[in-house]
Amino acid sequence: MTNESATAIENVDHFKISLDDSNTTDILKQNLSLESLGINPEYAFKEFNLTLEDLHEALNNTLNNTENDPNLTQITNSSQFAAELLNQQLKDAESISVIEQWTFGMINHSQGYFEESECVGLEDCMLLALSQLYDIFTNQSVQGVETSRDIILSVEDQIKDIIQNTTRSVRDSYRLASQILGHLYKLNESNVFCSTAPNFTAQLKDQSVLTGSSVDMLCNVTGNPHPLIRWYHNDVLLPENSKENLILNNVISIQEGMYRCEAENVVTSVLSKSAAVFVTECHPGTFYNEPTNKCLPCDYGHYQPQNNRRNCLQCSTGYFTLEKGSKWQSDCKDVDECQSTQSLCEHKCINTNGTYVCGCSSGSSLNSDGKTCTDSNGNLAVIVVAGVVTGLAIIIGVLIVVVKFKLYLKFRPSNSKKQTLTAMQHSEHNKMYGDSTGAKNAKQ
């Protein structure tokens, strides 16, 4: 009731202020100018030969004439009359005793909650109810019960003030009613008899991180009302951390140690188990190995010039470090491939920065594969070799024929007719053999 009444009065009050400021003549004097009227002095002088002084004189004459204008005067008088009338109505509205109206409406309503033997009238019954509520918190050792008692005493004083001072204005009554409502909400939130103690659903876990990394810890806790959270590092309170998540960015070695969280509500406060945070710092020439939480030296062929890195940099192709844990790129030395790898080149191996090239002996040329060589007279050598191979094949073939013929003569059948050659047959045979040999020799 006071909320709606106070809101309506505030709206009317703002409208009254606008009426108080609505003097038509003053408004014209404040806002009227050549610019607001859309007058261009250059155009007025060019077209009508009116100077700037002429324009200002005409404007001032117009403003002076408005003071005696009957229409404008009537408008101004009407606005002032409306403002005075509205101001009187506001005073009348403010003087209405909403407390009396509220008290009258609550008398019959409160009788349904109390026996006539317990209390008489609204004020008596309300104070009885507050007294009974206060007694509930008497002799209670539960944490936070004193807060509830203080709230009840404050509400009691404010209710007495409202009921006993019936001439209080609407706005003042609304202010006091808002304070009472705020106290009751706070009392409800701190009600220890409907609350549950904080309970950790999961404990903090140890963490191992690299210097410069982030740490995120969560205080998993339930409770009604929801608990307030505090964080501790090595049993020292971290005042700027009151959320369930504790986030540490760019951690350094001094942040290493034991962490735990505290959860507190109106019932009690509890502490979690401590969790360790280990901060590892890796120096140049090493890298952070997360599975082992150790700084390991860079392997052969790798280097690392910076602190706290998770990997090492690889040397360029053809370069290699001579030992593990190298820090600088200058530690990468050129690899002599000619010594470290066998049979790279057929003839000669020439080492260069980062790689190697092959060469050939005098009289030979390098093939397209960049490794093997070919004799400069290679084609002639191939022809000669091919001729020699062909000649050997012919000789071997003739020898095979002769051997077969001799074996035939040795192991032929003993028929005298077949074994003995007539003189004519020998003569013809020799003649044929001679002719064949002569022809072959002549051909050669």
Gyration radius (Cα) of the chain, Å: 58
Cα–Cα nearest to 33, from 41, 43, 44? 41
- Using CA atoms, how far residue 52 sits from 49, 59, 117, in Å, is 10, 11, 90
**Burial grade of 154 (CB within 10 A; 0-12, 13-18, 19 or more):** middle
Band of the pLDDT at 382, cuts 50, 70, 90? low
**Preceding peptide of 225 cis, ω within 30°:** yes
CA 111 to chain centre: 61
Residue 155 has pLDDT above 60, yes or no: yes
Percent residues over pLDDT 70 in the chain: 64
- What are the start-end ranges of the E strands in 138-211? 196-200, 207-210
Helix (H) or strand (E) holding 264: strand 257-264
Q: What's the chain's length in residues?
A: 444
CB atoms within 10 A of CB 221: 21
Q: Which residues pair with 313 in a beta bridge?
A: 303
Nearest to 213 by CA among 280, 301, 276: 280
pLDDT tens track for 12-66: 555 555 545 545 455 455 556 767 667 788 877 887 788 888 877 777 776 666 6
Distances (CA, A) of 178 to 68, 159, 189, 261: 51, 12, 17, 36
pLDDT tens digits along 169-192: 777 777 777 888 888 888 777 666
Give 89 or 396, the one with higher predicted confidence.
396
Tell me which DSSP letter residue 326 carries.
B
Residue 75: CB partners within 8 Å, gap ≥ 6?
Answer: 24
pLDDT band at 6 (very low <50, low <70, confident <90, very high): low
Please report the pLDDT score of residue 43 as a whole number: 77
Give the three-state DSSP class for 289: strand
* Per-residue confidence (pLDDT) for residue 80, from 0 to 100: 65
> Which amino acid, residue 390?
T
Distance spanning both ends of the chain, measured CA to CA: 142
pLDDT for the residue 262? 95
Nearest residue to 331 via CA among 285, 286, 270, 266: 285
Mean pLDDT of the chain: 75
SS3 for 163?
Answer: helix
Asked whether residue 374 carries a pLDDT value surpassing 80, the answer given is yes
Locate 121 and state its tokens. 């009238």
For residue 371, give the nearest of 336, 350, 341, 344 by alpha carbon: 344
- The predicted pLDDT at position 151 comes to 83
Q: Is the pLDDT of residue 222 over 80?
A: yes
Q: Residue 215: pLDDT above 80?
A: yes
Q: Among 76-80, 127-131, 396-400, which is the least confidently predicted range? A: 76-80
β-strand 275-280 against 207-210: which pairing, if any?
Answer: parallel
Q: Give, for 3, the enclosing helix (H) or strand (E).
A: helix 2-20
In this predicted model, what pLDDT tens digit does every residue of 249-276 receive, in sequence order? Answer: 999 989 999 999 999 987 789 999 999 9
Secondary structure (DSSP) of 302-322: EE--SSS-SS-EEPPTTEEES
Q: Find out whether 44 and 55 touch, Cβ atoms under 8 Å.
A: yes
In Å, how far are 166, 180, 407 from 4, measured between CA atoms? 18, 17, 142
